[in-house]
Structure 1
Amino acid sequence: MSENIDYINYSCYFTVFREGEQFVSCNALSMVISGEMELNDGVHRQMFRSGDIYLVRKNQLLKFLKKPGEEAEFKSLSIRFDDEMLNEMISEEQFILPERLKMPAFIEVSEVKHLKYFMESLLQYKDLLENKSPELALLKQKEALILLFGHDHSLKNILFDISDPYKIDLESFMQKNYHFNVKLDRFAYLTGRSLATFKRDFEKIFGTAPRKWLLEKRLKEAHYLLKTGRRASDIYLDLGFENLSHFSFAFKKQYGLPPSMLSV
């Protein structure tokens, strides 16, 4: 179950849970209360456990895997920072973005003691926040940002960057990120293009339509992994397929045999 409390969210899962679309649309600060959270941005993979805190950056592709512990369900607490609230703080401070900084899709801030105290204190406000107290939620959002900036002032250059992605090299981006389960309009947005321009540029570069290329690219990678002994049930989600049956159907259509017959 998951309870949406404005921009402060308490999550609880009793079984292993993967997010659907792997696109981060909002900056967020999160703490694992129990269980484990695995994050994977395609380059870095990290496991967070009870008490760990991490910051997730907007407009990133990121895979989430939530795992319950042996004796407790998975629980987490997250604060999301929407653009409207960030824009208000930017105006109040008359902040001017000096440059766009490159940062991983997520960073760990578990070592910042005052952030840990703050996140733990939010658990005491759970009843109030569940009753939709917008004034309290906004106050806690701003408090979290002040603590983050107190820890690292350069985080302003990241969290206060609320502009849309700029146009980037489409070929290298897609070769790096084809295994993320996101819609075409997300890929277009992240490469700084409209959907129509993305499709046009894509066909010029790859000589085929985006959906066809994505499917063939993922199936080719699956074919390689299955030949090394990996099982279909272990790889289909990592390659961007919605479910195992869809993967198996597409694989058999492409290669003429089910994935189970290829494993060694």
Structure 2
Amino acid sequence: MSENIDYINYSCYFTVFREGEQFVSYNALSMVISGEMELNDGAQRQIFRSGDIYLVRKNQLLKFLKKPGEEAEFKSLSLRFDDDLLKTMSSEEEFVLPEKLKMPSFIEVSEVNHLKYFMESLLQYKDLLENKSPELALLKQKEALILLFEHDQSLKNMLFDIANPYKIDLENFMQKNYHFNVKLDRFAYLTGRSLATFKRDFEKIFGTAPRKWLLEKRLQQAHYLLKKGRKASDIYLDLGFEDLSHFSFAFKKQYGLPPSILSI
């Protein structure tokens, strides 16, 4: 279950849970209360445990895996940063965003004691925040940002960059990110294109429609992994398929045999 409280979110899961769509549309500061959170952006994979704190960057692809502990459910606390607030703060500081810098998808800040004290203190305000106190939520957003910038001024380059993604190399992006389970309009947005322009550019580059290419690319990788001894149940989610039955049906249609045969 998950309780949405403006921009502060308390989550609790009793079983392993993966996010449905793997597109991050907001900047957020999060703390694991119990259990484990695994983040994977395709290049970096990291597990966060009880007491760990991390900052997630908006407008990127990221896989989330929430696992309950042996004796406790998964619990986390997240504080999202509103774009209007970030825009206001950057204007007040007359902040000038430097040339686009490559920033990581997520940053661990568990070692910053004042952030840990701050996140722990939010648990004491749970009742107030559940009663939807917008003034308190806004105050806590600002407080978190001040603490983050006191820790590292360069984080402004990440959090104050609220512009839409700019046009990038579509072929390179898709080859790296085909395994993320997101809609075509998300891929289009992240490559700095409208959906229509994305489809047109895609067909020029790959010679086929995006959906067809994505399915074939995922199935090719699945075939390779199954031949290496991996099990279908272990890989279908990592390759962007919604469920095991859909993956098995598509694989059999493409290769003429069920994936279970290859993994034997």
Query: Which category describes the TM-score, using the shorter chain as reference length?
Result: over 0.9
Q: Which blocks of at least 5 consecutive residues in structure 1 are unaligned? A: none
CA RMSD of aligned residues (A): 0.7
| TM-score, scaled relative to structure 2 | 0.99
Write out aligned runs for 1:95-110 (5 A): 95-110=95-110
- C-alpha distance in 2 between matches for 1:178 and 1:15: 27
Write out aligned runs for 1:178-189 (5 A): 178-189=178-189
SS of the residue 2:9 aligns to: strand
SS of the residue 2:107 aligns to: strand
SS of the residue 1:98 aligns to: coil
- Determine the structure 2 residue equivalent to 1:209: 209
1:252: Cα distance to partner? Answer: 0.6
- C-alpha distance in 2 between matches for 1:216 and 1:97: 40
- Determine the structure 2 residue equivalent to 1:41: 41
After the TM superposition, which parts of structure 1 deviate over 6 Å for at least 4 consecutive aligned residues? Answer: none
Note if 1:162 corresponds to 2:162: yes
Deviations 1:156-178 (A, max 9, x none): 11100000111100000000000
- Determine the structure 2 residue equivalent to 1:74: 74
| TM-score, scaled relative to structure 1 | 0.99
SS of the residue 2:28 aligns to: strand
SS of the residue 1:111 aligns to: coil
- Determine the structure 2 residue equivalent to 1:153: 153
- Determine the structure 2 residue equivalent to 1:222: 222
SS of the residue 1:80 aligns to: strand
Does structure 2 retain, via aligned residues, the 8 Å contact 1:32–1:76?
yes
- C-alpha distance in 1 between matches for 2:253 and 2:105: 35
- Determine the structure 2 residue equivalent to 1:21: 21
Letter in 1 for 2:60: Q
Letter in 1 for 2:35: G
- Determine the structure 1 residue equivalent to 2:121: 121
1:95: Cα distance to partner? Answer: 1.7
Q: Which blocks of at least 5 consecutive residues in structure 2 are unaligned? A: none
Deviations 1:23-71 (A, max 9, x none): 0000000000000000000000000000000000001100000000000
- Determine the structure 1 residue equivalent to 2:135: 135
SS of the residue 2:66 aligns to: strand
Letter in 2 for 1:103: M
- Determine the structure 2 residue equivalent to 1:232: 232
Give the share of equivalent positions with the same residue, in percent. 89
- C-alpha distance in 1 between matches for 2:78 and 2:163: 23
Deviates more, 1:63-72 or 1:89-98: 89-98
1:142: Cα distance to partner? Answer: 0.5
Aligned length, in residue pairs: 264
